[in-house]
Structures are given as structure tokens and as C-alpha cells.
């Protein structure tokens, strides 16, 4: 029963990781501008 839930969870985790990576890159760019 648990296995079908693993793929959606991994997918959502990877999406969140991508968003965090993009956000951190944008944050670093803004910090460099100061």
C-alpha cells in the first residue's frame, strides 16, 4: 500500500528542491547587487 505513494512524494520533493535551488540562486544574485 505504501509503494504507490513513494513516486508522487519523490516527485513533489524534487520539485520543492528545484524551487529552493532557484530561490537560493536568485537570493545570492540579489545579495551580490548590494
pLDDT in tens, 20-30: 999 999 988 77
Q: Cβ–Cβ contacts within 10 Å for residue 29, how many? A: 9
Structural domain count, the chain: 1
Domain that holds residue 28: 1-34
The rounded percent of the chain whose pLDDT value lies above 70 is 88
Coil/strand/helix, residue 34? coil
Residue 3 scores a pLDDT above 90 = no
Amino acid at each position: 500500500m505504501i509503494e504507490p505513494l513513494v513516486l508522487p512524494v519523490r516527485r513533489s520533493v524534487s520539485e520543492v528542491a528545484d524551487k529552493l535551488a532557484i530561490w537560493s540562486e536568485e537570493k545570492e544574485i540579489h545579495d551580490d547587487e548590494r
